[in-house]
Amino acid sequence: MDYIERRTEKEYAYPVTIGEDCWIGGGAILCPGVTVGDRCIIGAGSVVTKDIPSDSIAVGNPAKVIRKNDRKILCKSFGNVKISCTFASLLKRKCTGV
């Protein structure tokens, strides 16, 4: 390869698309061209090689969907009073009593 050709900028990567309200664990690797849907959780150290659908939890190497996530999750419980939050409200730290 010619030294002038080596110095020119070339882009070989594909875009990675990450949806809204996604949580991606530390050390996770997203391969080129992967799409992660809205409200997904990617486990720490996971290697995402294929698209992950919305509202799902994916872990492992290669990352596999281990379960679908319902939109409401239980975030805290105080005695008989349960407080539930949606992913968006968890990010904003606003929970509503149910």
- Predicted local confidence at residue 98, as pLDDT: 47
Count CA within 13 A, CB hemisphere, residue 55: 7
CA neighbor of 39 nearest in space, from 29, 52, 27:
52
pLDDT in tens, the chain (98 residues): 678 887 887 777 899 999 998 999 999 999 999 999 999 999 999 999 999 999 999 999 999 999 887 655 545 544 555 555 555 555 555 555 54
- Predicted local confidence at residue 74, as pLDDT: 46
**What are the tokens at 50?**
């294929």
- Predicted local confidence at residue 10, as pLDDT: 75
Residues with Cβ < 8 Å from 82, sequence gap 6 or more? 74, 76, 97, 98
